[in-house]
Structure 1
Amino acid sequence: MEGVQSSARVSGPYEAELERTIQELNSRKRRLEDAVHQLKASAASSGTGLSAKDSLEIMTSAYQAVTEAEPLLPPPGSVLPVLLAMRRAQQTIAETKEYTDSQAASLEQLERRIERERVNLREQQALQLALENRIQSLRDGLESREEKSEDQIAKEHIAKLKQQKDHWDKQTSSLMKELDWFIGEHLGPMLAAEELGGPVVGGLMDIDPDDLSAGFSAQGKLKKAPSQPDHDKRQRRLDDIWGPQDQQDQPNKRKRERDEASAASAEMRDLTEQLMNKLMEAGGDTSAAYVELPRESAAARFLVRSKVAVFHPKDAKRLRLVDFGRDLED
């Protein structure tokens, strides 16, 4: 309640002073208007126009009167200066806020640009460091080569090539052992099943070589092995499909009884070896890399399906390996 009364006491004199200021301005405005009307009336009653000299004298007198007169200032205690100051302050605040909002977007764009330039600078510095290191390494290598004789450089190069050859020979030997194991344990029985009229390689997994002795039915299903198999008939079938067994055994190897899986494995190993040797002998000439096939075997079909080998375009009895290295070089 006391705050409301205090506000009323403050606003009362303020409004009264504002009212007096307005009345004073209106009074001066009316006096000036009356003076203008009187001048117009006197000029109209005289009926004569003013000469150039009279107009100059009137304007000179008016300017002197305005110059010598005291400036129109609000009386002491007037609130007009306060109102003008408040209006100017509000205008300044609004302009400052508008300018700040307009500069915020520019500042954000500038910060993003500065960040991009920093990233570019870091990349350029890293690239410069890498180039300097590379140049230094090349200089060191050039200096070391200049210090060595041509014979030393040639010997080092030969030693490096021999080391690479030994490495790849070991890798080749390891891969050949893995291939030989895969053919004997997995691929051989599946090739034998396909040769005996069963499904193609991959259609029947985990085949027991002993189950192949009975063969397959016309529908491609494995027959049930008889209690007393006919070994002579089985041997004749092996000879008809895979040919007679080679009696020359390699030294220091245990002789193994021949069956369908081992015969198919031996055929795959022999065909693979012939294809690789022929490709090496051809020296990049694909027309000379073909091997003559005695028959269309499951091993040859499997290599073609696997896109490891291709038949001759005009002779299905000729087969060659795909020269993957030559394709990459081309």
Structure 2
Amino acid sequence: MEGTSGRVGDTLHRTNMDRTLRELRRVKEETEDALNHLRASASQSRVTHASLSDLDTLEILTKAHRDVAESEPFLPLPGSVLPALLALRKTHETIVQSNEHMGSQAASLEQVNRRLEVLRADMKEQLALQAALEKRVQSLRKGLENRMETTPEQRAKERIAELKKKKSQYDMDTSRLLKLLNSFIDDQLAPMLAAEELGGPVVGDMMEIDSEELSAGFSAKGKLKKGNAQPDEDKRQRRIDDIWGPAQGQQDQPGKRKRDQGDEASAAGAEMRNLTEQLLNQLMEADGDSSAAYVKIPRESASARFLVRSKVAVFHPRDATLLRLVDFGREFDE
């Protein structure tokens, strides 16, 4: 039964298609006949057009419009598939145009979404800023109210107490930093400074150096001297005094200083601490005047060279015996 109904439907469809095609051919032939008739009439009218008046032309056009308006429009036969075909074509054109429009609007939609995200982020930042400003305004109002409730003497006492507290904290921080600096000099920096003074590598090239190695000295090429014999203590002490000078309280006892107090590393550390102390004191006394912050040094020691290489101190541009700390609150000298 289903096969029979399918064949009947196919036959009916083919019949409707044939009828529609015949109707379209008939309309085409009628249209072509009418077009040929109009062409013939146009060729005849060109001959007589010169003799027609404006009124005659108006009457002809009026009659033509009336005939077109009163003529029956072309309608397909009942059961024709032409309306369905026209509707299908129109639907297909609409779908194609819609897809093209959607494709062209995809980029615009993405751009609008990105812009929307940016605006949302800006709005979030503005809300956070507004909340912070409102909080700050409330804090200022509260502080103003508190200040209005207190007398000038009370405010002055509170300010003095606050400054004393800050000074105490600064003193504690300064003491802690000085202890750390002295520890760094004694434990790590002093042996390397002594090695450089004795003709060895510059500070940083040899990290592990002990007193025994320093007592042996360095060769002309900057290499450690090898040997098991210990150097003469008096000769070693004279070398220390020649390079770094005699230690305080021991000028009258050459050669009798204890090794843990009078070796090369201790002398280099003492020189570094003395130099940094002089530079700090002079910088504070200069009170921002760079030209008055220089300290005169007796020689260009390893300590001075290390401070200059570390960008902590600078030599005078015209006098290598003057050294000052860099004021980090100001620009470097050109």
Give the secondary structure class of the aligned counterpart of 2:14: helix
Residue ranges of structure 2 left out of the alignment (5+ in a row): 46-50, 252-257
Q: Deviations over 1:44-70 (max 9, x none)?
A: xxxxx9999999999888887777776
The alignment status of 1:235 with 2:237, answered yes or no, reads yes
Displacement of 1:176: 1.0
Displacement of 1:4: 6.3
- 2:262 aligned residue: 258
**What letter matches 1:281 in structure 2?**
E
Q: Mean Cα displacement is larger for which, 272-281 or 114-123? A: 114-123
The alignment status of 1:128 with 2:148, answered yes or no, reads no
Displacement of 1:153: 1.8
Q: 1:304 to 1:28 in 2, by over 3 A?
A: closer
Tell me, in whole angstroms, the C-alpha distance in 1 between the residues paired with 2:38 and 2:204. Answer: 119
- Give the 5 Å matches for 1:1-330: 5-22=7-24, 25=27, 73-224=75-226, 227=229, 229-247=231-249, 257-327=261-331
Q: Deviations over 1:223-264 (max 9, x none)?
A: 345536422222222222222232179xxxx99542222122
Q: Mean Cα displacement is larger for which, 99-108 or 261-270? A: 99-108
* 1:213–1:225 contact (8 Å) kept in structure 2: no
Q: CA RMSD in A?
A: 4.0
Displacement of 1:94: 4.2
> Across the two proteins, how many residue pairs are aligned to each other?
317
Q: Mean Cα displacement is larger for which, 181-190 or 228-237? A: 228-237
* 1:21–1:78 contact (8 Å) kept in structure 2: no
Tell me, in whole angstroms, the C-alpha distance in 1 between the residues paired with 2:269 and 2:189. Answer: 7
Q: 1:39 to 1:117 in 2, by over 3 A?
A: closer
| Seq. identity, % | 56
Give the secondary structure class of the aligned counterpart of 2:314: strand
* 1:21–1:80 contact (8 Å) kept in structure 2: no
**What letter matches 1:162 in structure 2?**
K
**What letter matches 1:205 in structure 2?**
M
Q: 1:9 to 1:155 in 2, by over 3 A?
A: same
Displacement of 1:127: 2.1
Displacement of 1:142: 1.6
Rg larger in 1 or in 2?
1
Displacement of 1:87: 4.1
* 2:216–2:230 contact (8 Å) kept in structure 1: no
Residue ranges of structure 1 left out of the alignment (5+ in a row): 44-48
Q: Deviations over 1:160-183 (max 9, x none)?
A: 222222222111111111111122
Tell me, in whole angstroms, the C-alpha distance in 2 between the residues paired with 1:25 and 1:136. Answer: 88
Tell me, in whole angstroms, the C-alpha distance in 2 between the residues paired with 1:79 and 1:271. Answer: 110
**What letter matches 2:320 in structure 1?**
A
Q: 1:278 to 1:248 in 2, by over 3 A?
A: farther
Tell me, in whole angstroms, the C-alpha distance in 2 between the residues paired with 1:139 and 1:36. Answer: 95
Give the secondary structure class of the aligned counterpart of 2:262: coil
**What letter matches 2:190 in structure 1?**
G
Q: Mean Cα displacement is larger for which, 267-276 or 310-319? A: 310-319
Q: 1:19 to 1:279 in 2, by over 3 A?
A: closer
- 1:46 aligned residue: none
